Structure 1
C-alpha cells in the first residue's frame, strides 16, 4: 500500500472532489452542533462514508444508506428493550441479524445490497452502546438516524450543486471505448492466423469490462445527466454487447477449422468477410448495408446448402454465425444510437433487456453463507468476552466486529483489507492523540476548528478517488473523526480515546480472524466454483431442466467469465482454465439448440439426440468431481453419426436445423480428426482424439 500511496498522482478533479467532500462534512458538523445532536461526528463521518466523485453514485448510495439505517434503527428499537435482561441471547440475536442481512446482501450483486448491509450493522451501531441503558435505545436510534441522514443530505447537496461530475458522460466514454474494442475483436476473429492467447485475453478483458456497466447503470436514476432514466436501455445494451463475444469466438474457430482441414475459402466468402469487417468498423451505422450483407450471406449459404463434406458444413455454420454477428452488432448500434437520442427502439430493447436481470448473473450462495456465519461468529466472540470481563469498551469492539465483517465482504479474501484497515486505524489513533493534546486545546470557535482539520482531511480525502488507495484515505479520516468524538465543547480524555481506539482494533481483529477461518476462499477455489457452476448449468441444459431462455444462459456464462478474469492475478496457475471456459458458451448454446431441435425432428432422430444429450449431461456432472475427465469417445462417434444422418437422410429445413448445433458441438469434442460424412466401407469417420470438453468451440 505504501508504494501505491507514494506513486499516486492526483488530478485537479481529485482535489476538487476532496475539497467538496470536506466542505460537505464541515457543513454537516456545523448543523449537527447547532442543533445539539447527540454525536455530531456521525454526520461528519457519514459524509466521507457515502462520498463518491460521481453524483449519481453518491445519490444512490445516500438513498440506500438512509433506507438501511432506518430499517436497522427500527429493528434495534424492537430487540434491545425486550432482550436486555438476557445478554447472551441479545448478543446471539444481534449477531444473527447481522449475519442474515449480510447473507442476503451478498446474494444481491447490485448497489441495492447496501440497504441490507447497512440494516445489519446499524443494529450493532445502535444496539450495543444501548445495552447498559436500554431506556435510551429509542433516543439513540433517533439520534443516529438524524445524524446519518444529515450527513447524507449535506454530501448529496454539495455533490450535486458545486461542480457536479455526472455519471452519464463517464458511461458514454466507456461504451464508446468498448465499441472500439469489439470492432478490434471482430478484425482479430476473422484472422485465422491470429494468436489464440491474444484473442483469449481480449475477449476476457471485454467481458470483465462489460460487467461494470450493469452496476453503473443502476445509479443513473439518481442524477440529471442526459442518460438519466435509461438504466433498462443500458443494461439491454450490455447484454447485446456481451453476446457478441461468443459469436466472435465461433467465427474465428470456424475459419481456423477450415484452414486446419485444408479447405480453400471461396473468394466470395472472403470478400463478404472483408466487407463485414469494414461495416463494423465504420463510425456511422447503415441499416441498409446490414440488410445487404445479410442478403449476401444468405445467397452464399444457399449455394452450399446441400454440401455433404466437413468443409461445406463448417461454412454453413460460419454463415449462421455471420448472421448472428450482423444482428447482434446491429442491435448494439441501434440501442446505443437510441440511448444517445433519448429513445431506444422498443423491439430491440425488449429483445435484450430480459437477459439483463438477476437470472443472468452468478450468485455465490456458499460464499454468502460463509460471510454471514463469519460475521455472526466475530460478533458473538467479542460479546462473550465483553460479558465475561465487564470490559467498558466492549460495546465499541462488538460494533466494529459487525462493521468489519460487513464492509469488506464483497472481496474473495477480505483479510488483507481488514489488516490494512487495522494499520490505518492505528496510525489514525496517533493522529487523534496529536490533535487532542496539541491542536484542539488551543482552538476557540468553529472557524479555527475547520482550519485545523482542513489540511489533514483534504490531503487524505484525495486518496479516496483511487480504488487502490480508497481504503487508506477513508480509514484515516473516518477513524480520526469518530475517535476524537468532536462536540460543542472540548474535553480531553486520553484514556477514553485510547480505549476506544484499542476496542476498534480488537473488533476488526475479531472480524479478520473469523473471516480467515470461515469466509476466506483461495482464488483458485473461487475460480473452480465458477467453472463448476458453468458445468451444472450446461448439464441442466442438456437434460432439459434449465428454466431460462438462451440469452439468459449466455449472459450467465459470460458473467462468470468476467468474474474469473480478475481472480487470475491471484491464481496464475488457473490461467488455462479461462481458455477452457470461454468456449462453454458455445457448448451451452449448441446443446440448447439441439434440445429445441428434438421438438421439430422425427422421432428416430429425436430419440438419438436425447440419448446424446443425456450422455453429455453425465459427462459434465462427472466433471464436478473429476475436472480433467475426458468425454466418452462414444459421444464423438454419436455426433458424427448424427451429422452423417442429417447430411444423407433429412430434408433441407430439418437438415440445417440439426447440422448447425452439431458442427459447433463437434468442434468442442475434438480439435483433431475430421468426421467422415459420406458412407463408405472403411467406417464412419476419420480418427478423432477426444479432448477436455470445452477446449474449443
Structure 2
C-alpha cells in the first residue's frame, strides 16, 4: 500500500499542480461571484476559468478576450435560431448544423485567437439552441446568462493571469531569430559539398518552422502583435529565399564578405562584389528584413514581402462537412426517438467535432476525452444523487461543487490523467448546475451523464472514419496542394511576376508546415525538406518554360519539348518519373540550342525530381 501511495504521489508534477491549484481556486471564486450576481448557471464561470487558463500572461489575456468574443457571437446566433425556428425542430437542426460546419471550416483556415473565436461561436450557438430549443420566451434570458457568466469568469481569469502568470519570453524569440539569421548566412557562405549541406539545410529549416509555429504563443497579448508577427515572418521568408536559392554544387564564393557579416547580419555592401549578384540581392533582403524587425516591424517602408500563409482549404472543408453531418446524424436520432437527453447529445457532438478538429491528432485526444467524460459524469452523478438532495439552499449546492473543482486540479496535474483532466472538469461542471431544491430522479441523472459521453464517442468515430485526421494525413494534404499549384502554373499562360512571388511565398510557408508535420510523425525532416526544395525548383522550371514558349527566338524543337514537359506536370502526382523524363529532354534540347546558356536555370531539376518522386506520390 505504501508503495502504491508513493507511486501515485510521484506522478504529480509540482509546477503543474501549483498552476492547476491556483486555477481551481479561481474557478471556485468565479462560481461564487456568478452566484452572488444572481446568474442561473454559475458553473459556466468556473468552466471559463479552466478553458482560458494558460502558462503565460499574454496567452491568458488573449484566450479570455477570445472567449468573450466567441460567446457573444455564438449566443446571438443561437438566440436568433430559437426565436425564428423553434416551431420547426428539423429546420432548427439543419441551420445549426450549417452554422457549426461553417464555423469549423473557418476555424481551420484561421490561426491563433481568431480560430478559437470562430470555433467557440459555433458551439456556443449549439448550447443556447439546444438548452432552450422549445422555449423561445426564455432563450433571451439564457443567452444573457451565458454571456454574463462568461464575462464574470473571464474577468476573474484575467485578474488571476495578471497576478500569478509570468510574461512570455519574447527576448528568447528575438535571440532565436538572430541566431537563425547568423546560421543561414554562415551556411550559405560555407563552401561545403551538397551531400553535407542537405542535412544542415534541413536542420535550419526545422528551426525556421519551429519559430514560425511558436509565434502565436510568444507574441500573444503583445501591443502591435500583428505587425511584429509580419516582421518576423518577413525575416523567415527572406532567410528561406536565401537558403533555398543557394547553389548546390558548392556555395557561392563570398569575395570581400566581412567576418562581421555573420555576427551582425548580412551586409549588402559586403556581398555586392560577389560573383553571384542574385544571391547578393537575397542576402541584402535578409539584412533589410532583419533591420525592419529591429525597428519595431516597419515593413511597409522597406517594401519587404512576408510569408504568404498556408491555408489548409481541403482539411478545412473536410472539418466543416464532418462537424455538420455529425450534428445532423445525432440530431436525427434525437428527433426520431424524441429522447429527453437528445439536446445534450447534439450539444456534445457539436463541441467535440468542431473544437478538436484543429488538433494534431483529434482521434487520439478523443480516447482521453471519453475517459475524462465518463469520470466527470460519474462524479457529477454521485454528487447530484447523494449530496445535493441534502442541501438546504442553493448556496449550499454551489459549495458542494467546490470539492469537485479541486479534484479536477488533481486530475489535471497527474501525469497519467492530465490528458483527460479538461474533459473531467468540463463535464462535471456542466452537469452540476445548482438548481434548488434538488429533485432529480436517478434514472434521469444517469441518462444525462450518458448523454454527454455521446459527443466524444461520435467525434472519435468521425475523426477516425470520416476524413481521418492525423499528422500523416495533414502532410499529404499539403503535398497535394503543392502539386495542385504546380499543375495550375503549368496549365496557365504567361505567369505574371507578382503571381510567381506569391506562389513562392506560399510554398515557403508550406515547406515549414510540412517539416513540422514530418517531425510530429517521426518522419525524416531531410526528406520533407528535399521534397519541398524539389517543388520549388520544379516551379521555377515551369515558370522558365512558360517564358520560353513566348520567346520567338526559341527553336521549334525546344518549344515542343517545353510543351511536353508542361503537359507532363498534369500527371505529376501519379507519374513523377514521366515529368522528370520530359524535363530531362527539355534540358538536353536547350543544351543543343542557341539558348544553351539559359538552360542552366533548370539544370539538375530533372535528376532531383527523379530522386524525390516518392515525395510527390504521397499526395
TM-score above 0.5: yes
Q: Residue 670 of structure 1 corresponds to which residue in structure 2?
A: 607
Instruction: Show the 5 A alignment for 1:391-406.
Output: 391-406=339-354
Give distance in 1, aligned partners of 2:201 and 2:46: 47
CA RMSD, 1 decimal: 3.9
Pairing partner for 1:431 from 372, 379, 383: 379
What corresponds to 2:530 in structure 1?
A: 579
Listed as ranges, the matches of 1:556-595 within 5 Å are 556-568=506-518, 569-570=520-521, 572=523, 576=527, 578-589=529-540, 591-592=542-543
Paired with 1:365 and 1:326, the residues of 2 have a C-alpha distance of 33
Q: CA deviation at 1:502?
A: 0.6
Query: What SS is found at the alignment partner of 1:122?
Result: helix
How many angstroms apart in 2 are the aligned matches of 1:505 and 1:195? 53
Alignment of 1:55-70 (within 5 A): 55-70=57-72
Q: How big is the shift at 1:50? A: 2.0
SS in 1 for 2:207: helix
- In the alignment, does 2:568 pair up with 1:619? yes
Q: Does 2:426 align with 1:478?
A: yes
Q: Does 1:328 align with 2:276?
A: no
Q: Are residue 121 (structure 1) and residue 123 (structure 2) matched?
A: yes
Q: Does 2:488 align with 1:531?
A: no
Which consecutive unaligned segments of at least 5 residues does structure 1 have? 257-264, 302-318, 649-654, 672-688
Q: CA deviation at 1:198?
A: 2.4
Alpha-carbon shift at residue 500 of structure 1 (Å): 2.1
Whole-Å separation in 2 of the counterparts to 1:557 and 1:454 = 46
- In structure 2, distance between residues paired with 1:86 and 1:181: 59
Alignment of 1:115-514 (within 5 A): 115-160=117-162, 162-167=163-168, 169=169, 171-189=170-188, 190=190, 191-192=192-193, 195=196, 198-199=199-200, 201-213=202-214, 215-216=216-217, 220=220, 222-223=221-222, 228-251=223-246, 253-255=248-250, 269=253, 275=257, 278-282=259-263, 284-285=264-265, 290-297=267-274, 301=275, 319-320=276-277, 322-339=279-296, 344=298, 346-348=300-302, 350-352=303-305, 355-356=306-307, 360-411=308-359, 413-433=361-381, 435=383, 452-453=403-404, 455-462=406-413, 471-486=419-434, 494-514=442-462
Structure 2 residues without counterparts, runs of 5 or longer: 1-7
In the TM superposition, residue 148 of structure 1 has moved relative to its aligned partner by 1.8
3-state SS of 1:165 partner: coil
CA distance change for structure 1 residues 384 and 61 in 2, over 3 Å: closer, same or farther? same
**1:174 CA displacement:** 2.5
Deviation digits for residues 278-318 of structure 1 (CA, Å, limit 9, x no counterpart): 44541x45x7xx24422331xxx3xxxxxxxxxxxxxxxxx
- CA deviations on 1:438-457 (whole Å, 9 max, x unpaired) are 87769986997687356424
Q: For each residue in 1:195-253, what CA deviation from the matched residue of structure 2 results, as whole angstroms up to 9, or x when unmatched?
A: 35623531441242133255447x64x44xxxx21422332321332332353244251
Q: Is the 8 A contact 1:22 1:458 kept in 2?
A: yes
In structure 2, relative to structure 1, the CA distance for the partners of 1:81 and 1:332 (3 Å cut) is: closer
Cα distance change, pair 476–496 in 1 and its aligned pair in 2 (3 A): same
Q: 1:38 aligns with which of 21, 37, 40?
A: 40
| TM-score, scaled to structure 2 | 0.84
Confirm or deny: 8 A CA contact 1:375 1:515 kept in the other structure.
Answer: no
- How far 1:185 sits from its partner (Å)? 4.7
Give 1:71's match in structure 2, choosing from 62, 70, 73: 73
Q: Is the 8 A contact 2:347 2:455 kept in 1?
A: yes
Partners in 2 of 1:546 and 1:155 — Cα distance?
52
**In the aligned structure 2, how far is the partner of 1:408 from the partner of 1:80?**
26
SS of residue paired to 1:323: helix
Q: What SS does the corresponding residue of 1:666 show, helix, strand or coil?
A: coil
* Mean CA deviation greater in 399-408 or 612-621: 612-621
Relative distance call for 1:629 and 1:28 in structure 2 (3 A) is: farther
Q: Rate the CA distance shift 1:6–1:590 in 2: closer, same or farther, 3 A.
A: farther
For this pair of structures, how many residues does the alignment match?
601
TM-score, normalization: structure 1?
0.75
Alpha carbons of 1:177 and 1:637: their partners in 2 closer, same or farther (altered >3 Å)? same
Assess if the C-alpha contact under 8 Å between 2:380 and 2:431 holds in 1. yes
| Per-residue deviation, 1:580 | 2.1
Distance 1:426 1:621, change over 3 A: same
Q: How big is the shift at 1:375?
A: 1.6
- Structure 2 CA distance for partners of 1:322 and 1:573, relative to 1, 3 Å: closer
Asked whether the 8 Å contact 1:72–1:120 carries over to 2, the reply is yes
Structure-2 separation of matches of 1:7 and 1:124: 41
Q: Which moved more, 1:121-130 or 1:239-248?
A: 239-248
Relative to 1, partners in 2 of residues 1:146 and 1:423: Cα closer, same or farther, differing over 3 Å? Answer: same
Distance 2:455 2:441 in 1: 21
> In structure 1, what is the equivalent of residue 110 of structure 2?
108
C-alpha deviations, 1:474-507, integer Å up to 9, x for none?
Answer: 2222222222224677777654443222100012
